[in-house]
Structure 1
Protein backbone atom coordinates (compact mmCIF):
# COMPACT_ATOMS: atom_id res chain seq x y z
CA UNK A 1 0.00 0.00 0.00
CA UNK A 2 2.83 2.43 0.83
CA UNK A 3 4.25 2.06 -2.69
CA UNK A 4 0.82 1.65 -4.33
CA UNK A 5 0.91 2.67 -7.98
CA UNK A 6 -2.59 3.74 -9.03
CA UNK A 7 -3.74 3.29 -12.58
CA UNK A 8 -4.32 6.57 -14.40
CA UNK A 9 -8.11 6.56 -14.08
CA UNK A 10 -8.57 4.33 -11.03
CA UNK A 11 -11.15 6.74 -9.57
CA UNK A 12 -12.92 7.62 -12.83
CA UNK A 13 -16.69 8.12 -12.56
CA UNK A 14 -16.48 8.19 -8.76
CA UNK A 15 -17.86 10.97 -6.60
CA UNK A 16 -15.90 11.44 -3.38
CA UNK A 17 -16.57 13.78 -0.46
CA UNK A 18 -13.59 15.12 1.51
CA UNK A 19 -13.98 17.05 4.78
CA UNK A 20 -11.31 19.51 5.82
CA UNK A 21 -10.60 19.88 2.12
CA UNK A 22 -9.17 23.39 2.28
CA UNK A 23 -5.79 22.57 3.74
CA UNK A 24 -3.26 19.89 4.68
CA UNK A 25 -4.18 16.25 4.17
CA UNK A 26 -7.71 17.04 3.01
CA UNK A 27 -6.46 19.37 0.32
CA UNK A 28 -3.89 16.93 -1.04
CA UNK A 29 -6.32 14.01 -0.89
CA UNK A 30 -8.85 16.05 -2.86
CA UNK A 31 -6.28 16.95 -5.52
CA UNK A 32 -5.09 13.34 -5.78
CA UNK A 33 -8.63 11.96 -6.03
CA UNK A 34 -9.36 14.44 -8.83
CA UNK A 35 -6.07 13.59 -10.52
CA UNK A 36 -7.17 9.97 -10.79
CA UNK A 37 -10.56 10.83 -12.25
CA UNK A 38 -12.94 11.48 -9.34
CA UNK A 39 -15.41 14.30 -9.00
CA UNK A 40 -14.57 15.64 -5.56
CA UNK A 41 -16.96 17.39 -3.17
CA UNK A 42 -14.85 19.81 -1.17
CA UNK A 43 -16.24 20.38 2.33
CA UNK A 44 -14.64 22.86 4.68
CA UNK A 45 -15.12 25.91 6.84
CA UNK A 46 -13.22 28.55 4.86
CA UNK A 47 -14.63 29.34 1.41
CA UNK A 48 -11.46 31.05 0.18
CA UNK A 49 -9.38 27.94 0.87
CA UNK A 50 -11.91 25.69 -0.84
CA UNK A 51 -11.91 27.98 -3.86
CA UNK A 52 -8.11 27.75 -4.07
CA UNK A 53 -8.33 23.94 -4.12
CA UNK A 54 -11.13 24.15 -6.69
CA UNK A 55 -9.02 26.41 -8.92
CA UNK A 56 -5.99 24.12 -8.64
CA UNK A 57 -8.01 21.08 -9.63
CA UNK A 58 -9.67 22.80 -12.60
CA UNK A 59 -6.40 24.35 -13.77
CA UNK A 60 -4.86 20.88 -13.88
CA UNK A 61 -7.63 19.68 -16.20
CA UNK A 62 -9.23 17.33 -13.69
CA UNK A 63 -13.00 16.87 -13.23
CA UNK A 64 -14.68 19.99 -11.88
CA UNK A 65 -15.23 19.67 -8.12
CA UNK A 66 -18.11 20.95 -6.00
CA UNK A 67 -17.78 23.19 -2.94
CA UNK A 68 -19.73 22.77 0.31
CA UNK A 69 -18.91 25.42 2.94
CA UNK A 70 -19.75 24.03 6.38
CA UNK A 71 -18.48 24.74 9.89
CA UNK A 72 -18.51 21.37 11.62
CA UNK A 73 -18.40 23.01 15.04
CA UNK A 74 -21.75 24.69 14.48
CA UNK A 75 -23.51 22.47 11.93
CA UNK A 76 -26.61 20.57 13.01
CA UNK A 77 -27.69 17.04 12.24
CA UNK A 78 -30.25 18.49 9.81
CA UNK A 79 -27.49 20.38 7.97
CA UNK A 80 -25.72 17.10 7.25
CA UNK A 81 -28.94 15.39 6.22
CA UNK A 82 -29.78 18.23 3.82
CA UNK A 83 -26.29 18.04 2.33
CA UNK A 84 -26.58 14.28 1.81
CA UNK A 85 -29.94 14.72 0.10
CA UNK A 86 -28.39 17.33 -2.21
CA UNK A 87 -25.57 14.92 -3.08
CA UNK A 88 -28.10 12.27 -4.09
CA UNK A 89 -30.10 14.80 -6.11
CA UNK A 90 -27.06 16.17 -7.96
CA UNK A 91 -24.83 13.10 -8.32
CA UNK A 92 -27.18 10.15 -7.83
CA UNK A 93 -24.73 8.37 -5.52
CA UNK A 94 -21.61 8.76 -3.42
CA UNK A 95 -18.67 6.43 -4.03
CA UNK A 96 -16.44 7.56 -1.20
CA UNK A 97 -16.10 9.86 1.79
CA UNK A 98 -12.91 10.83 3.58
CA UNK A 99 -13.90 12.20 6.99
CA UNK A 100 -10.68 14.04 7.57
CA UNK A 101 -11.56 17.23 9.47
CA UNK A 102 -10.43 17.28 13.11
CA UNK A 103 -9.26 19.76 15.72
CA UNK A 104 -6.52 19.25 18.31
CA UNK A 105 -7.90 21.25 21.21
CA UNK A 106 -5.21 21.74 23.85
CA UNK A 107 -2.46 19.52 25.18
CA UNK A 108 -3.02 19.70 28.92
CA UNK A 109 -3.17 17.46 32.02
CA UNK A 110 -6.42 15.50 32.26
CA UNK A 111 -7.41 17.27 35.49
CA UNK A 112 -7.09 20.64 33.74
CA UNK A 113 -9.19 19.93 30.63
CA UNK A 114 -11.57 22.86 30.12
CA UNK A 115 -15.20 22.01 29.42
CA UNK A 116 -15.29 24.23 26.32
CA UNK A 117 -12.21 22.53 24.85
CA UNK A 118 -13.72 19.11 25.56
CA UNK A 119 -17.06 20.10 24.01
CA UNK A 120 -15.44 21.61 20.90
CA UNK A 121 -13.18 18.62 20.24
CA UNK A 122 -16.00 16.13 20.72
CA UNK A 123 -18.33 18.17 18.52
CA UNK A 124 -15.93 18.28 15.57
CA UNK A 125 -14.02 15.01 15.99
CA UNK A 126 -16.88 12.75 17.10
CA UNK A 127 -20.41 14.15 16.95
CA UNK A 128 -19.97 15.66 13.50
CA UNK A 129 -18.43 12.40 12.25
CA UNK A 130 -21.45 10.50 13.53
CA UNK A 131 -23.98 12.90 12.01
CA UNK A 132 -22.14 12.96 8.71
CA UNK A 133 -21.57 9.21 8.42
CA UNK A 134 -25.19 8.48 9.32
CA UNK A 135 -26.43 10.98 6.74
CA UNK A 136 -24.10 9.75 3.99
CA UNK A 137 -24.79 6.00 4.27
CA UNK A 138 -27.91 6.10 2.03
CA UNK A 139 -25.86 7.86 -0.69
CA UNK A 140 -22.99 5.40 -0.25
CA UNK A 141 -25.45 2.50 -0.57
CA UNK A 142 -26.35 3.70 -4.07
CA UNK A 143 -22.82 2.95 -5.27
CA UNK A 144 -21.77 -0.52 -6.42
CA UNK A 145 -18.56 -0.15 -4.38
CA UNK A 146 -18.17 2.64 -1.84
CA UNK A 147 -15.55 3.53 0.76
CA UNK A 148 -16.20 5.36 4.04
CA UNK A 149 -12.87 6.39 5.51
CA UNK A 150 -12.45 7.86 8.98
CA UNK A 151 -9.27 9.58 10.19
CA UNK A 152 -7.62 8.27 13.35
CA UNK A 153 -4.27 8.86 15.04
CA UNK A 154 -1.38 7.21 16.80
CA UNK A 155 -3.12 8.24 20.03
CA UNK A 156 -6.40 6.70 18.83
CA UNK A 157 -5.68 3.20 20.12
CA UNK A 158 -3.09 3.91 22.81
CA UNK A 159 -3.73 6.84 25.10
CA UNK A 160 -1.03 9.43 25.65
CA UNK A 161 -0.57 11.82 28.55
CA UNK A 162 -1.88 15.35 27.95
CA UNK A 163 -3.67 14.42 24.73
CA UNK A 164 -6.99 13.78 26.55
CA UNK A 165 -9.87 15.12 24.38
CA UNK A 166 -8.16 14.47 21.03
CA UNK A 167 -7.01 10.97 21.99
CA UNK A 168 -10.39 10.00 23.43
CA UNK A 169 -12.19 11.33 20.35
CA UNK A 170 -10.04 9.14 18.12
CA UNK A 171 -10.62 6.05 20.27
CA UNK A 172 -14.33 6.69 19.79
CA UNK A 173 -13.87 7.25 16.05
CA UNK A 174 -12.18 3.86 15.68
CA UNK A 175 -15.05 2.25 17.59
CA UNK A 176 -17.60 3.92 15.33
CA UNK A 177 -15.71 2.70 12.28
CA UNK A 178 -15.72 -0.87 13.59
CA UNK A 179 -19.46 -0.79 14.30
CA UNK A 180 -20.27 0.49 10.80
CA UNK A 181 -17.87 -1.96 9.16
CA UNK A 182 -19.45 -4.90 10.97
CA UNK A 183 -23.01 -3.82 10.24
CA UNK A 184 -22.31 -3.35 6.51
CA UNK A 185 -19.84 -6.21 6.09
CA UNK A 186 -22.01 -7.98 3.51
CA UNK A 187 -22.90 -4.84 1.58
CA UNK A 188 -21.27 -2.63 -1.05
CA UNK A 189 -19.98 -0.27 1.68
CA UNK A 190 -16.58 -0.79 3.24
CA UNK A 191 -15.49 1.27 6.24
CA UNK A 192 -11.96 1.78 7.55
CA UNK A 193 -9.86 4.24 9.53
CA UNK A 194 -6.55 5.67 8.38
CA UNK A 195 -3.76 6.89 10.62
CA UNK A 196 -1.62 9.42 8.72
CA UNK A 197 1.25 9.15 11.23
CA UNK A 198 3.79 11.91 11.82
CA UNK A 199 3.11 14.25 8.89
CA UNK A 200 4.00 17.88 8.26
CA UNK A 201 0.64 19.57 8.87
CA UNK A 202 -0.47 22.64 10.82
CA UNK A 203 -1.93 20.44 13.54
CA UNK A 204 1.37 18.59 13.89
CA UNK A 205 3.25 21.91 14.09
CA UNK A 206 0.95 23.04 16.89
CA UNK A 207 1.51 19.84 18.87
CA UNK A 208 5.26 19.67 18.21
CA UNK A 209 6.47 23.21 17.47
CA UNK A 210 10.17 22.39 17.89
CA UNK A 211 10.11 19.27 15.70
CA UNK A 212 12.48 19.05 12.73
CA UNK A 213 10.04 18.90 9.81
CA UNK A 214 12.66 17.34 7.56
CA UNK A 215 12.47 14.16 9.64
CA UNK A 216 8.77 13.52 9.19
CA UNK A 217 6.64 12.67 6.16
CA UNK A 218 5.16 15.27 3.86
CA UNK A 219 1.48 15.16 2.99
CA UNK A 220 2.45 13.99 -0.51
CA UNK A 221 4.35 11.03 0.98
CA UNK A 222 1.23 9.48 2.52
CA UNK A 223 -1.14 9.86 -0.43
CA UNK A 224 -0.69 6.34 -1.85
CA UNK A 225 -2.66 4.89 1.07
CA UNK A 226 -5.42 7.46 0.67
CA UNK A 227 -5.83 6.73 -3.04
CA UNK A 228 -5.66 2.97 -2.48
CA UNK A 229 -8.45 3.03 0.11
CA UNK A 230 -10.75 4.93 -2.26
CA UNK A 231 -10.00 2.74 -5.28
CA UNK A 232 -11.68 -0.57 -6.04
CA UNK A 233 -8.32 -2.25 -5.37
CA UNK A 234 -9.27 -2.03 -1.68
CA UNK A 235 -12.82 -3.34 -2.07
CA UNK A 236 -12.12 -6.31 0.21
CA UNK A 237 -10.57 -4.20 3.00
CA UNK A 238 -13.13 -3.56 5.74
CA UNK A 239 -13.04 -2.74 9.44
CA UNK A 240 -9.32 -2.06 9.50
CA UNK A 241 -7.16 0.55 11.20
CA UNK A 242 -4.56 1.31 8.52
CA UNK A 243 -1.31 3.18 8.90
CA UNK A 244 -0.46 5.48 5.98
CA UNK A 245 3.25 5.13 6.77
CA UNK A 246 5.24 1.92 7.20
CA UNK A 247 6.33 1.23 10.75
Structure 2
Protein backbone atom coordinates (compact mmCIF):
# COMPACT_ATOMS: atom_id res chain seq x y z
CA UNK A 1 0.00 0.00 0.00
CA UNK A 2 1.35 3.42 -0.94
CA UNK A 3 2.22 5.89 1.80
CA UNK A 4 0.17 8.45 -0.15
CA UNK A 5 -3.16 6.62 -0.58
CA UNK A 6 -5.08 9.87 -1.15
CA UNK A 7 -2.63 11.41 -3.60
CA UNK A 8 -4.24 13.95 -5.91
CA UNK A 9 -7.60 13.99 -4.16
CA UNK A 10 -9.54 17.00 -2.90
CA UNK A 11 -10.98 16.54 0.59
CA UNK A 12 -13.08 18.94 2.67
CA UNK A 13 -12.62 18.71 6.44
CA UNK A 14 -14.93 20.68 8.75
CA UNK A 15 -14.04 21.73 12.27
CA UNK A 16 -10.44 21.57 11.09
CA UNK A 17 -8.82 24.02 13.51
CA UNK A 18 -8.64 21.75 16.57
CA UNK A 19 -9.23 18.30 18.01
CA UNK A 20 -10.23 15.44 15.75
CA UNK A 21 -10.77 17.78 12.81
CA UNK A 22 -7.25 19.19 12.99
CA UNK A 23 -5.73 15.72 13.31
CA UNK A 24 -7.84 14.48 10.39
CA UNK A 25 -6.91 17.43 8.18
CA UNK A 26 -3.22 16.97 8.90
CA UNK A 27 -3.40 13.20 8.37
CA UNK A 28 -5.36 13.49 5.14
CA UNK A 29 -2.84 16.02 3.83
CA UNK A 30 0.04 13.73 4.79
CA UNK A 31 -1.74 10.98 2.82
CA UNK A 32 -1.46 13.13 -0.30
CA UNK A 33 -4.80 14.95 -0.52
CA UNK A 34 -5.30 18.66 -0.96
CA UNK A 35 -7.28 19.63 2.12
CA UNK A 36 -10.04 22.23 2.08
CA UNK A 37 -9.95 23.12 5.76
CA UNK A 38 -13.15 24.65 7.14
CA UNK A 39 -13.37 26.24 10.59
CA UNK A 40 -14.52 29.42 12.31
CA UNK A 41 -11.13 30.37 13.74
CA UNK A 42 -8.73 32.04 11.32
CA UNK A 43 -5.78 31.72 13.69
CA UNK A 44 -6.38 28.01 14.12
CA UNK A 45 -6.59 27.53 10.36
CA UNK A 46 -3.33 29.39 9.84
CA UNK A 47 -1.59 27.19 12.42
CA UNK A 48 -3.02 24.12 10.68
CA UNK A 49 -1.73 25.39 7.34
CA UNK A 50 1.79 25.68 8.78
CA UNK A 51 1.56 22.11 10.09
CA UNK A 52 0.29 20.80 6.75
CA UNK A 53 3.11 22.52 4.88
CA UNK A 54 5.57 20.99 7.32
CA UNK A 55 4.51 17.49 6.22
CA UNK A 56 4.69 18.46 2.54
CA UNK A 57 0.95 18.91 2.07
CA UNK A 58 -1.26 21.66 0.71
CA UNK A 59 -4.45 23.24 2.01
CA UNK A 60 -7.07 25.78 1.11
CA UNK A 61 -8.30 27.63 4.20
CA UNK A 62 -12.01 28.45 4.47
CA UNK A 63 -13.03 30.53 7.50
CA UNK A 64 -16.72 29.67 7.77
CA UNK A 65 -19.34 29.36 10.47
CA UNK A 66 -21.36 26.28 9.56
CA UNK A 67 -24.50 27.97 10.87
CA UNK A 68 -24.16 30.30 7.87
CA UNK A 69 -26.02 27.95 5.56
CA UNK A 70 -25.88 30.14 2.42
CA UNK A 71 -22.09 30.19 2.85
CA UNK A 72 -22.11 26.38 2.61
CA UNK A 73 -23.91 26.72 -0.72
CA UNK A 74 -21.25 29.18 -1.86
CA UNK A 75 -18.54 26.75 -0.80
CA UNK A 76 -19.90 24.11 -3.16
CA UNK A 77 -20.05 26.57 -6.03
CA UNK A 78 -16.50 27.79 -5.36
CA UNK A 79 -15.13 24.25 -5.24
CA UNK A 80 -16.83 23.38 -8.50
CA UNK A 81 -15.38 26.47 -10.17
CA UNK A 82 -11.89 25.76 -8.88
CA UNK A 83 -11.64 21.95 -9.00
CA UNK A 84 -14.66 20.67 -10.92
CA UNK A 85 -15.15 17.83 -8.43
CA UNK A 86 -14.68 16.73 -4.82
CA UNK A 87 -13.25 13.38 -3.73
CA UNK A 88 -13.90 13.41 0.00
CA UNK A 89 -15.78 15.06 2.84
CA UNK A 90 -15.01 14.71 6.54
CA UNK A 91 -17.99 16.11 8.46
CA UNK A 92 -16.34 16.54 11.82
CA UNK A 93 -17.55 19.86 13.23
CA UNK A 94 -19.91 19.53 16.17
CA UNK A 95 -20.98 21.08 19.44
CA UNK A 96 -21.78 19.43 22.75
CA UNK A 97 -24.52 21.78 23.87
CA UNK A 98 -25.75 21.94 27.47
CA UNK A 99 -25.50 18.92 29.78
CA UNK A 100 -28.90 19.45 31.33
CA UNK A 101 -32.31 17.88 31.87
CA UNK A 102 -34.23 18.04 28.61
CA UNK A 103 -36.90 20.27 30.10
CA UNK A 104 -34.27 22.78 31.22
CA UNK A 105 -32.48 23.19 27.89
CA UNK A 106 -32.88 26.70 26.52
CA UNK A 107 -34.51 26.60 23.06
CA UNK A 108 -31.69 28.70 21.62
CA UNK A 109 -29.10 26.17 22.81
CA UNK A 110 -31.16 23.24 21.53
CA UNK A 111 -31.50 24.87 18.12
CA UNK A 112 -27.74 25.49 17.96
CA UNK A 113 -26.93 21.84 18.63
CA UNK A 114 -29.26 20.73 15.85
CA UNK A 115 -28.01 23.47 13.51
CA UNK A 116 -24.35 22.48 13.81
CA UNK A 117 -24.61 18.72 14.29
CA UNK A 118 -27.45 17.97 11.88
CA UNK A 119 -28.58 20.79 9.61
CA UNK A 120 -25.08 21.91 8.67
CA UNK A 121 -24.23 18.37 7.59
CA UNK A 122 -27.43 18.16 5.55
CA UNK A 123 -26.46 21.45 3.89
CA UNK A 124 -22.96 20.11 3.21
CA UNK A 125 -24.43 17.01 1.58
CA UNK A 126 -26.83 19.17 -0.43
CA UNK A 127 -24.02 21.45 -1.60
CA UNK A 128 -21.26 18.92 -2.15
CA UNK A 129 -23.06 15.78 -3.35
CA UNK A 130 -22.95 16.90 -7.03
CA UNK A 131 -19.18 17.32 -6.72
CA UNK A 132 -18.73 13.94 -5.03
CA UNK A 133 -20.65 12.35 -7.88
CA UNK A 134 -18.26 13.94 -10.37
CA UNK A 135 -15.32 12.29 -8.61
CA UNK A 136 -16.46 8.78 -9.49
CA UNK A 137 -15.05 7.63 -6.15
CA UNK A 138 -16.57 10.11 -3.72
CA UNK A 139 -16.18 9.35 -0.04
CA UNK A 140 -17.93 10.96 2.95
CA UNK A 141 -17.09 10.35 6.61
CA UNK A 142 -19.07 11.88 9.46
CA UNK A 143 -18.27 11.89 13.17
CA UNK A 144 -20.96 10.33 15.33
CA UNK A 145 -20.87 9.40 19.01
CA UNK A 146 -21.43 6.55 21.42
CA UNK A 147 -24.12 8.79 22.92
CA UNK A 148 -26.44 7.51 20.17
CA UNK A 149 -26.58 4.06 21.78
CA UNK A 150 -25.51 4.78 25.33
CA UNK A 151 -28.38 7.11 26.18
CA UNK A 152 -27.75 8.78 29.50
CA UNK A 153 -29.53 11.44 31.55
CA UNK A 154 -28.83 15.08 30.71
CA UNK A 155 -27.31 14.39 27.28
CA UNK A 156 -30.60 14.62 25.39
CA UNK A 157 -29.79 17.38 22.90
CA UNK A 158 -26.42 15.94 21.91
CA UNK A 159 -27.60 12.32 21.74
CA UNK A 160 -30.62 13.28 19.66
CA UNK A 161 -28.49 15.31 17.25
CA UNK A 162 -26.03 12.46 16.65
CA UNK A 163 -28.85 9.94 16.21
CA UNK A 164 -30.38 12.25 13.59
CA UNK A 165 -26.99 12.58 11.91
CA UNK A 166 -26.67 8.80 11.67
CA UNK A 167 -30.14 8.54 10.09
CA UNK A 168 -29.21 11.29 7.63
CA UNK A 169 -25.92 9.70 6.57
CA UNK A 170 -27.25 6.15 6.26
CA UNK A 171 -30.12 7.42 4.11
CA UNK A 172 -27.69 9.41 1.95
CA UNK A 173 -25.44 6.37 1.59
CA UNK A 174 -28.28 4.22 0.32
CA UNK A 175 -29.34 6.91 -2.13
CA UNK A 176 -25.79 7.34 -3.46
CA UNK A 177 -24.56 3.79 -4.04
CA UNK A 178 -25.21 3.92 -7.78
CA UNK A 179 -23.04 7.04 -8.06
CA UNK A 180 -19.93 5.40 -6.62
CA UNK A 181 -20.17 7.29 -3.33
CA UNK A 182 -19.41 5.59 -0.01
CA UNK A 183 -20.75 7.42 3.05
CA UNK A 184 -20.00 6.18 6.55
CA UNK A 185 -19.79 7.34 10.16
CA UNK A 186 -17.16 6.97 12.85
CA UNK A 187 -17.78 6.71 16.57
CA UNK A 188 -14.49 7.90 18.10
CA UNK A 189 -15.44 6.99 21.65
CA UNK A 190 -13.86 8.83 24.57
CA UNK A 191 -10.98 10.86 23.15
CA UNK A 192 -8.59 13.54 24.36
CA UNK A 193 -10.42 16.63 23.08
CA UNK A 194 -11.69 19.91 24.49
CA UNK A 195 -15.27 18.74 24.01
CA UNK A 196 -14.61 15.63 26.09
CA UNK A 197 -12.93 17.72 28.79
CA UNK A 198 -15.96 19.99 28.91
CA UNK A 199 -18.32 17.03 29.25
CA UNK A 200 -16.17 15.13 31.76
CA UNK A 201 -14.16 17.74 33.69
CA UNK A 202 -12.97 15.29 36.35
CA UNK A 203 -11.50 12.82 33.87
CA UNK A 204 -7.75 12.45 33.38
CA UNK A 205 -7.21 13.18 29.66
CA UNK A 206 -3.97 11.22 29.66
CA UNK A 207 -6.03 8.03 30.06
CA UNK A 208 -7.72 8.66 26.69
CA UNK A 209 -6.41 8.14 23.15
CA UNK A 210 -5.30 11.25 21.27
CA UNK A 211 -7.22 12.30 18.14
CA UNK A 212 -4.27 11.20 16.01
CA UNK A 213 -5.15 7.57 16.80
CA UNK A 214 -8.32 7.97 14.76
CA UNK A 215 -6.61 9.33 11.65
CA UNK A 216 -5.65 6.04 9.93
CA UNK A 217 -9.27 4.94 10.08
CA UNK A 218 -10.53 8.19 8.55
CA UNK A 219 -7.91 7.96 5.81
CA UNK A 220 -8.94 4.36 5.12
CA UNK A 221 -12.61 5.34 4.81
CA UNK A 222 -11.67 8.02 2.29
CA UNK A 223 -9.76 5.57 0.13
CA UNK A 224 -10.56 3.19 -2.69
CA UNK A 225 -10.49 0.01 -0.61
CA UNK A 226 -13.52 0.74 1.56
CA UNK A 227 -16.42 -1.52 0.54
CA UNK A 228 -18.88 -0.54 3.26
CA UNK A 229 -21.38 2.26 3.01
CA UNK A 230 -24.07 3.43 5.41
CA UNK A 231 -22.20 1.91 8.37
CA UNK A 232 -20.72 3.10 11.66
CA UNK A 233 -17.07 2.28 12.40
CA UNK A 234 -16.70 1.97 16.16
CA UNK A 235 -13.18 3.00 17.10
CA UNK A 236 -13.22 1.63 20.68
CA UNK A 237 -14.41 -1.79 19.45
CA UNK A 238 -12.37 -1.64 16.21
CA UNK A 239 -15.41 -3.01 14.43
CA UNK A 240 -18.37 -2.07 12.27
CA UNK A 241 -21.67 -1.64 14.05
Bin the TM-score by the shorter chain. Answer: over 0.9
Does the aligned pair in 1 maintain the 2:184–2:232 contact within 8 Å?
Answer: yes
Output the TM-score relative to the length of structure 1: 0.93
Match of 1:3 in 2: none
Gaps of 5+ in 2: none
Which stretches of structure 1, 4 residues or more, deviate above 4 A after TM superposition?
A: none
Does the aligned pair in 1 maintain the 2:17–2:45 contact within 8 Å?
Answer: yes
Match of 1:194 in 2: 186
Output the TM-score relative to the length of structure 2: 0.95
Q: Choose from 128, 134, 154 the match for 2:126.
A: 134
Does the aligned pair in 2 maintain the 1:14–1:38 contact within 8 Å?
Answer: yes
Shift of 1:44: 0.4
Match of 1:86 in 2: 78
Match of 2:206 in 1: 214
Does the residue aligned with 1:65 lie in a helix, a strand or coil?
A: strand
User: CA separation in 2, counterparts of 1:120 and 1:201?
Assistant: 20
Shift of 1:186: 2.1
Question: Bigger CA drift: 25-34 or 181-190?
Answer: 181-190
1:36 maps to 2:31? yes
Matches within 5 A, 1:1-247: 7-62=2-57, 64-73=58-67, 75-76=68-69, 78-234=70-226, 236-246=227-237
Does the aligned pair in 2 maintain the 1:226–1:244 contact within 8 Å?
Answer: no
Shift of 1:34: 0.6
Shift of 1:156: 1.9
Question: Bigger CA drift: 109-118 or 96-105?
Answer: 109-118
Does the residue aligned with 2:148 lie in a helix, a strand or coil?
A: coil
Gaps of 5+ in 1: 1-5
1:104-129 deviations in Å (ceiling 9; x for gaps): 01101112111111011111111111
